Chain A
């Protein structure tokens, strides 16, 4: 068994630096992904927040669209990452997501997200997407005013807020747990 999990962070644009820092704090071996070959040999992949239209275009011109769609390991998406995973984009998550649905930047906010049976987590919501519909296979792990903001479907974990902007590592720990299970099953 290897010591460190090898986690890629999509780094074409956006808040990848904070994800990298947080994953390193949790002792993962982190790779910034800007080209298709950097996806090889990863145990898991994070798609960070950023501008979803810009990330979408850069994924396309960097030749990452198909390799991403074929990626079979665990995935964590935050904000723009969640949008990229939804039904209308990569289809990793059976959810309907509306972009910028809380309004412009003046409406951006932070608030406590309710987690089932755990201490709430501080959620930073920046021009955040809103989950408008979840399929039956999607598990809702975190809610804000009863709306889903942290969801899981099998190997895919996604948040409409930014856990990487706080010091709370629980979402990333949860993701690494999913990765560890997947690595274990594969072995």
Chain B
């Protein structure tokens, strides 16, 4: 008997994306550029985070027309975003047969207390986190892939680095704890003991962990990989730059050859202007996207 939507099948797709770049796209044309550049998947969006930030208003799930158009255009997996807690947007995305749902802080949250119960879906979910506790809570809700949040739409890597340091550093510290200390740790992390114990034993999260939010250059992507990411999401960084195809190709190559400085130097050369960007530290607290979700 064939079994559909098992955790192994859901997290398995993320396993296949490792070492790859997932790119935000808003048109069929952009999705073709992403695929040509070697993206392992695309995220179908109405507006990239930089535009959501600039234009304001409520950010929602993309119009199905847009998603279908992008699914038509490429053969790589197509992901799409639902608002935090908006399980009906997720139901619609599942009906559209997107390959992964991102329950994302980039969109305006629909629920201030509850994330989506992701176990009930056959489509896998990826969720953002700023620290280990958040990651483990999302896993307990059924997420099959994790990404650190960073600060989307800024082109500033500093928050992504902070979040990776928080997650990977905490995992390393967990490995040094005695069994009886894990109970207290689980309480403080506000996460299930079983998951805390698994992470302490294995030294990693039980699912693939990508980095997102602020990646704008090949060097940024390689930095994330050297810090321990399994792969990267690039949002505004590609299609807000002066030469998207060249930049997309360079970021893909940098993600594969992340520890080879000669290759990184070569692919970083002559890419034109990166996205202009915003200093994440200068954003007012209410302008931050990373604080959405808990």
Residue numbers of A with Cβ under 8 A of B are: 11-18, 34, 49-51, 53-54, 57-58, 61-62, 79-80, 99-100, 103-111, 124-127, 162, 165-166
Contacts and interface: CB of A to CB of B under 8 A. Distances in A.
A19 B19 CA distance: 14
Given A13-B40, A15-B15, A54-B20, A165 B256 contact: no
B76 interface: yes
Interface in B110-125: 122-124
B12 interface: yes
A49 B77 CA distance: 14
A13 B20 contact: yes
A137 B19 CA distance: 35
B16 A79 contact: yes
Interface string B13-31: 1011111100000000000
A49 B17 CA distance: 9
B4 A106 contact: yes
Contact of A124 (B8, B40, B253): B8
A131 B77 CA distance: 20
A99 B124 CA distance: 20
A12 B12 contact: no
Contact of B19 (A16, A111, A125): A16
Nearest to A12: B256
Contacts of B252: 54, 57-58
B97 interface: yes
Which residue among A13, A99, A124 has the maximum number of chain B CB atoms within 10 Å of its CB?
A13
Contacts of A13: 18-20, 38, 40, 256
B141 interface: no
Listed from nearest, the 5 A-B pairs whose CB atoms lie closest are A105-B99, A57-B38, A111-B2, A51-B40, A109-B2
Given A51-B40, A110-B2, A127-B77, A14 B16 contact: yes
Which residue among A15, A108, A127 has the maximum number of chain B CB atoms within 10 Å of its CB?
A108
B92 to A, nearest CB: 13
B18 A127 contact: no
B185 interface: no
B3 to A, nearest CB: 5
Given A54-B20, A62-B256, A106 B40 contact: no
Given A105-B77, A105-B99, A18 B3 contact: no
B5 interface: yes
A3 B99 CA distance: 44
Given A57-B252, A58-B252, A165-B15, A110 B20 contact: no
B18 to A, nearest CB: 6
B75 interface: yes
Nearest to B253: A61
A124 B40 CA distance: 19
A58 B38 contact: yes
Given A12-B19, A16-B19, A50-B20, 13 more contacts: A15-B18, A51-B17, A54-B20, A57-B37, A61-B38, A62-B253, A62-B256, A80-B16, A105-B77, A108-B4, A111-B3, A127-B77, A127-B99
Contacts of B41: 51
B182 interface: no
Interface in B229-284: 249, 252-253, 256-257, 260
Interface string B140-177: 00000000000000000000000000000000000000
16 contacts: A13-B256, A15-B15, A15-B18, A16-B19, A34-B260, A54-B20, A61-B38, A100-B75, A104-B97, A104-B98, A110-B3, A110-B6, A111-B2, A125-B9, A126-B12, A127-B99
Contacts of A16: 18-19
Given A57-B38, A57-B252, A100-B75, A111 B16 contact: no
Interface in B71-124: 75-77, 94, 97-100, 122-124
B72 to A, nearest CB: 12
B39 interface: yes
A111 B4 CA distance: 9
A126 B8 CA distance: 10
A171 to B, nearest CB: 16
A79 B77 CA distance: 15
A106 B97 contact: yes
